[in-house]
Structure 1
Amino acid sequence: MPLDAILGNVIPLERETVTQPLSELDDDRLMVMIGAEDREAFGVLAAKHLDRCVAIAYRTLGNRTDAEDVAHDAMLRVWRHAPKWKTGGAQFTTWLYRVVVNLCIDRTRRVKPTAGEVPEDLSDDAPDPEVTLGSNQTAEQVRTAVMELPDRQKEALVLCFFEGMSNADAADVLEVSVGALEQLLVRARRSLRVTLAGLMD
């Protein structure tokens, strides 16, 4: 996604002196620089995290265009929030993925995905909680079943199983306790077992 498409005609402030490559700086330092309207620092941060933002949104929404729009909006919020960023506080990725999830929630409240919009690669190399995919038809049924889960269960499943987050990190993103997250996963697995019972015989 081109940087100009996100930022438009922002006039950057003079950059602080940095002695090491921007790619070697941690997210906190990059956020401080972005807070001073450093477009290059923003480009580095976006390059690090944009693909995963798109992946989370795509697996949650089931539509590539919507997922890219959500990732675009999330990155715009990074730019706008950067001047208020407090180093040493919340982990940047936790905050960013929470933004992505909340944007997905807002979007799904407006438009529910149809079965035809189920993402093609929802079941990738990440471990599937219940089913080993044996055919395209089976994969389609699994993807449809996941997309039909209640939003919070689907978000927990996407973060933990498809994005490989720990329960603690996923709980932080969803702003729930680890116990509450585990209950979401239990309910999601139970729903999938019922929906996909015929495939698991």
Structure 2
Amino acid sequence: MTWPFTRRARETWTDAELLAAFAAGDARAASLLTERLAPPLLRFATRLLSDPVEAEDVVQDAMIKLWHIAPDWQDGGAKVSTWLYQVARNLCIDRLRKRRGTDLEDADQVLDERPSVQEHLIEKDRYDALQMALNDLPARQRQAVILRHIEGLSNPEIAIILEIGVEAVESLTARGKRNLASALASRKGELGYE
């Protein structure tokens, strides 16, 4: 496989093609794949852990696992991004279990404590309210809602990541959305939605 290192390559090569190029010794492919996959993975891990520093560690560990399996990757199976989300999810679950034994529902909440400037206060309040409401969801609902509505993955992709059926994903997502709406309904005015 020749490597046409152009801006167009960034947009046209699939994740699997980039992974194959990396496995063949092209470090530029790893760089492009990291640029493509790490940001959404970091958002996902941050939402699950409520801790950006810990989420960065999860992303780093997941990417390292990807680089290790690169030579053995079988194109035509799972998508690279789906496999990576599944690895990150499992790493997050491990970290949450270490925080609080095995009860994922009681995982510690770490709120974003960055100082905000005046024009970002409402957005920060909205983000915090959503994060708190997400943290109150059962773990599987929280994961399904984040993957579907924040990360924009399809139900079949989520089913692979969560290791459940598509119908179960639809059910988890619907219940999660209802629970979020219920949790946030009383705060509409406070958050500037009325």
Which TM bucket (shorter chain)? 0.7 to 0.9
Is contact 1:146-1:154 (8 Å) kept?
Answer: yes
How many Å apart are 1:187 and its aligned residue? 2.8
- Pairs within 5 Å for 1:61-76: 61-76=49-64
Secondary structure of 2:186's match?
Answer: helix
Q: CA separation of 1:46/1:139 partners in 2, compared to 1, >3 Å: closer, same or farther?
A: closer
Matched, 1:34 2:47: no
Shift of 1:100: 1.2
1:82 maps to which residue?
Answer: 70
Matched, 1:151 2:139: yes
Per the normalisation by structure 1, the TM-score is 0.74
Aligned partners of 2:61, 2:173: CA distance in 1, in Å? 28
Question: Could you say which residue in structure 2 is the equivalent of 1:105?
Answer: 93
Aligned residues: 172
AA aligned opposite 1:44: L
After superposition, where does 1:142-181 map in structure 2 within 5 Å? 142-181=130-169
Q: Which consecutive residues of structure 2, in runs of 5 or more, have no partner in the other structure? A: 101-106, 115-121, 190-194
Larger proportion of helix: 2
Aligned to 2:129: 141
| Offset of residue 194 of structure 1 | 4.6
2:174 aligns with one of 169, 180, 186: 186
Q: Please tell me the residue identity of whatever aligns with 2:141.
A: Q
Contact residue 54 and residue 68 of structure 1 kept, 8 A: yes
Give the secondary-structure state (helix, strand or coil) at the position aligned to 2:149. helix
Taking structure 2 as the reference length, the TM-score comes to: 0.76
TM-fit CA distance, 1:189? 3.0
Question: What is residue 118 of structure 1 aligned with on the other side?
Answer: 111
Taking the aligned partners of 1:89 and 1:162, their CA distance within structure 2 comes to 25
Q: Which amino acid aligns with 1:18?
A: T
Identity of aligned residues (%): 34
Q: What amino acid sits opposite 2:4 in the alignment?
A: Q
Secondary structure of the corresponding residue to residue 111 of structure 1: helix
Amino acid at match of 1:26: T
Structure 2 match to 1:18: 2
User: Aligned equivalents of 2:40 and 2:165: distance in 1?
Assistant: 23
Structure 1 unaligned residues grouped into runs of 5+: 1-16, 122-133
Contact 2:45 2:89 in 1 (8 A): yes
